Amino acid sequence: MDSKLALYIVKRLLLAIFTVFLIITITFFVMKAIPGGPFLSEKSPSPEVTAALEAKYGLDKPVFEQYITYLKDLLRGDFGPSIKNRGRQVIDLIMEGFAVSAKNGLIAACLAIVIGLVLGALAAVFHDSWIDKTIMVLSTAFVAIPSFVVATLLLLIFCITFPIFPANGNVSGGLVLPIISLSLSPMSYITRLTRSSMLDVLGQDYIRTARAKGVSNTKVIFKHALKNAVTPVITYVGPMIAYILTGSLVVEKVFAVPGLGDFFFSSITNRDYPMVMGTTIFLATLMVIMTLLSDICYKIFDPRVDLS
Partner 1 sequence: MKKDSNALPKKNPLSLQLDLSSFEKATDEEKFMQQRMRESTTFFKDGMRRLRKNKIAMICLCVLIAIVLIITFVPMFYPYDYSTQLGITPGQPTDSSYKNLKPFEYGETELKRIEAGENIFPHIFGTDSLGRDYAIRVIYGARISLVVGLFASIIVLIIGTIYGSISGYYGGKVDLIMMRIVDIIYSLPDLLMIILLSVVLNKTLNLEGTFLESLGVGMISIFIVFALLYWVGMARLIRGQILTIKQQDYVLAARSLGASGGHIIRHHMLPNCISVIIISTALQIPSAIFTESFLSFMGLGVSMPMPSLGSLASEALGGIYSYPYRLAIPAVAICLIVLSLNLLGDGLRDAFDPKLKK
Q: Please list the residues that pair with 50 across neighbouring strands.
A: none
**Interface residue with partner 1, options 55, 63, 68, 153 (CB under 8 A):** 153
The verdict on 136 binding partner 1 (CB under 8 A) reads no
CB of 220 to partner 1, least distance (A): 25
Q: Which is nearer to partner 1, 111 or 242 (CB)?
A: 242
The verdict on 283 binding partner 1 (CB under 8 A) reads yes
Q: Please list the residues that pair with 89 across neighbouring strands.
A: 81
**Cα separation, 80 vs 70, whole angstroms:** 8
The verdict on 148 binding partner 1 (CB under 8 A) reads yes
Binding mask 222-251 for partner 1 (x = CB under 8 A): --------------------x---x--xx-
**Interface residue with partner 1, options 6, 10, 13, 15 (CB under 8 A):** 15
Q: Which is nearer to partner 1, 23 or 207 (CB)?
A: 23
User: Which segment (80-88, 160-168, 199-207, 220-228) binds partner 1 by CB under 8 A?
Assistant: 160-168
Q: How many residues bind partner 1 (CB under 8 A)?
A: 46
CB of 242 to partner 1, least distance (A): 6
Q: What are phi and psi of 257, to 5 degrees?
A: -85, 130
Q: Which of residues 21-60 bind partner 1 (CB under 8 A)?
A: 22-23, 26-27, 30-31, 33-36
**Interface residue with partner 1, options 79, 234, 284, 294 (CB under 8 A):** 284
Alpha-carbon 61 to chain mean position: 36
**Cα separation, 305 vs 4, whole angstroms:** 12
**Cα separation, 284 vs 24, whole angstroms:** 9
CB of 247 to partner 1, least distance (A): 9
Alpha-carbon 229 to chain mean position: 23
The verdict on 270 binding partner 1 (CB under 8 A) reads no
Q: Which is nearer to partner 1, 33 or 75 (CB)?
A: 33
The verdict on 19 binding partner 1 (CB under 8 A) reads yes
Q: Which is nearer to partner 1, 14 or 68 (CB)?
A: 14
Binding site for partner 1 (CB under 8 A): 15-16, 18-19, 22-23, 26-27, 30-31, 33-36, 140-141, 143-146, 148-149, 152-153, 155-156, 160-161, 167, 196, 242, 246, 249-250, 253-254, 265, 268-269, 276, 280, 283-284, 287-288, 291
